[in-house]
A = this chain, B = another copy of it.
Amino acid sequence: MVNGIERPLDLLNNAKGKEVLVQLKNDKQLVGTLLAFDIHINIVMDNAKEMANGEVKRNIGLTFLRGDTIIFISPASLTASTQAAEKKG
């Protein structure tokens, strides 16, 4: 596939070391740098901040986040096509 994402975990692998937005089931959001993940979608983020309505509510820093609390994980402000371009560039 042109963007190099054949399985869902490929996206998380590509996002390692990058800024991600994590939407939680409890309606909160975390932004921070994705450092690691496993097959349960447990993740480690660095410089994590809890956001609400676009404002920082809490600085959490380095954190281990359980996968079963997550709705989605998005590399910040990227689409697959810009990501593919980045890889070639």
Given A21-B60, A46-B81, A47-B79: 18 more A-B contacts, CB < 8 Å: A8-B64, A10-B44, A11-B35, A11-B36, A11-B62, A11-B63, A25-B69, A41-B42, A47-B80, A48-B72, A60-B72, A60-B74, A61-B74, A61-B77, A61-B78, A62-B80, A69-B71, A69-B72
Which residues from B are CB-within-8-Å of A1? 35-36
The chain B residue with its CB closest to the CB of A77 is: B61
Chain A residues 52 to 89 lying within 8 A of chain B, measured CB to CB, are 60-75, 77-81, 83
- Given the known inter-chain contacts A5-B36, A35-B80, A80-B35, please indicate yes or no for A44 contacting B74, CB distance below 8 A: no
- Output the residue of A38, A43, A46, A75 with the most chain B CB within 10 A: A46
